[in-house]
Amino acid sequence: MTTVGEIRRVFPRAEEAWLIEIVTRAPAAGIDTRTEMASFLAQAGHETAGFTRFEESLDYSVGRLMQVWPRRFPRIEDALPYAHQPERLAERVYGGRMGNRESGDGWAYRGRGPLMLTGRDNYGAAGEALGKAIGFNPQRAGIESEAKREMQMDKNLRTVRMDDIASDWADAILRNDTEKRQEAMARLRQWNRDNPTLRIDGTSIMRSVRERVKAAKLTGSERFIKSVPKAMKPEARESLRP
């Protein structure tokens, strides 16, 4: 499982709330391997300037307009009227396409979110998919279901935070980094002080740290043996013999 800490090392200025949402919700969206997560993070990180910007500004200089849309703005005089005019530019480059049909749609449905969703049609499709994904029904949505949802989100947040701390703690042990280990312990204490109803108990986090250290010390052959089904382990071991 990818942790918030691992993502932050790649995107140090990222908004933590987004990283927690990604780590928590990715498996349910089918992003359930480290390779798939890496692909998603590479795309989304590029679109959002390292998870710091989630709305397209469209505030471009003349030169940048000619770089991004060379066919629309092949000459300086073509680009000048739209330079640093984001709403006007939105209508020029997005108006009359992607379902945008009314005046102002280009700006209203400009890129937003981690993948910069753009266009009235795409906004509508995403809204419909989201409604299906969460089983949204205005007539049936009640206080009880909302409370359960928030409770589950709290549990997910606790799991994400424990994985994040355990990952750094295990890394500190492997690197014999006393300072980093103390920082991880301090973060655990701080979390438990700030979240008394979501405390991370010592047994759980030490088990997680121990498993991570153990996994990190496995050789390539041991990792291979561990990954195959039990019934195939004899054949797997035989295949490794010189």
Q: What is the pLDDT of residue 223?
A: 62
- Report which of 65, 62, 64, 100 is spatially closest to residue 80, judged by C-alpha positions: 62
Q: Give the tens place of pLDDT for each residue, 57-98.
A: 899 999 999 999 999 999 999 999 999 999 999 999 999 999
Predicted TM-score (pTM) of this structure = 0.55
Contact of 64 with 84, CB cutoff 8 Å: no
The whole-number pLDDT of residue 242 equals 66
List of residues 6+ apart from 163 with CB closer than 8 A: 1, 3, 4, 23, 208
Confidence band of 193 (pLDDT split at 50, 70, 90): confident
CB atoms within 10 A of CB 16: 11
* Cα–Cα distance, 19 to 60 (Å, whole number): 28
pLDDT tens-digit profile of 171-184? 888 888 889 889 98
The per-residue pLDDT for range 17-59, each reduced to its tens digit, is: 788 888 888 887 888 888 999 999 999 999 999 988 888 989 9
Q: Give me the chain's average pLDDT, please.
A: 82
Please provide the distance, in angstroms rounded to a whole number, between the alpha carbons at the two ends of the chain: 33
Place of tokens 């906004």: 123
Q: What is the pLDDT of residue 97?
A: 92
What are the residue boundaries of the structural domains of the chain, listed by start? Answer: 4-47, 62-132, 145-221
Map the chain to HEC letters: CCCHHHHHHHCCCCCHHHHHHHHHHCHHHCCCCHHHHHHHHHHHHHHCCCCCCCECCCCCCHHHHHHHCCCCCCCHHHHHHHCCCHHHHHHHHHCCCCCCCCCCHHHHCCCECCCCECCHHHHHHHHHHHHHHCCCCCCCCCHHHHHHHHHHHHHHHHHHHHHHHHHHHHHHHHHCCHHHHHHHHHHHHHHHHHCHHHCCCHHHHHHHHHHHHHHHCCCHHHHHHHHCCHHHHHHHHHHCCC
> How many CA atoms are closer than 13 Å to the CA of 81, on its beta-carbon side?
8
pLDDT per residue over 129-170, tens digit each? 766 544 444 444 333 444 445 555 556 777 878 888 888 888
